[in-house]
Amino acid sequence: MNYKDILDKINRKGCWNVIVVDGVVGVGKTTLMNMLVNEMGYKPFLEPVVDNPILDKFYYDRERYSFSLQIFFLNNRFRMIKEAAKMNNAILDRSIYGDLIFAKMLMENGEMSKEEYNLYADLFENMIEHCHPPKLMIYLETSVDAAIKKINKRGRDYEKIVEREYWERLNTHYNEYFNQYSISPILKINVDNIDFEKNSEDRKYIFDLINNKLKEIESNN
């Protein structure tokens, strides 16, 4: 089953007033989310990484922990999107909408069994039927080299041990997913040569893109 088939299960009767920032590991999702929180007053919902008891184990033994990690993320992201939907201006660092990217990649690479993936996908479909599309999906595109540079700079030991091929597969799956993504308005921003954290001109460029997209969405409603 491809991404589009699963995403088509979503409830399209209206959208939730939430913005999602997505992209591969290390691309700058949390940084951008925090900047939008400070600039526009959004309520942040952080990806469950710090209090995740499985994540570091997963990177050392992906085959053993892939299924349990994906179930942990799926459960928490379903809980988060329900809470975010009750608010008027929530923004999420990753979300349930893109959760299946990792599961599908792990299954295709033999690090999650087909039986485990089918169980995961069935659970995902049951959950996504109760979700509405986000108001806006922001996808931060990047090259593998740029992502690895940021990962190494961030300094999480369990990420630094991961082989380059894993990040290449992840980037391929992200591009495939967002090429098929059609459940909501989407803004794709390539951030390879952009430092929106430290460069004020780059930051203004990003904010202008987002604000213009939001105005476009409002004018179409």
Give catalytic residue positions: 93
Task: State the number of CA atoms in the 13 A half-sphere of 207 facing the CB.
Answer: 16
Q: Which two tokens stand for residue 87?
A: 């608010």
- Assess contact for 98 and 22: CB atoms under 8 A: yes
Q: Which parts of the chain fold into alpha helices (H)?
A: 3-7, 29-40, 55-60, 62-85, 100-108, 114-128, 144-154, 157-160, 164-180, 200-220
The span from the CA of 75 to the CA of 200, in Å, is 37
N- to C-terminal Cα separation, the chain = 32
Task: Name the β-bridge partners of 21.
Answer: 93, 138
**Backbone CA torsion sign across 124, 127, 130, 132:** negative
* Cα–Cα dist 75/123, whole Å: 10
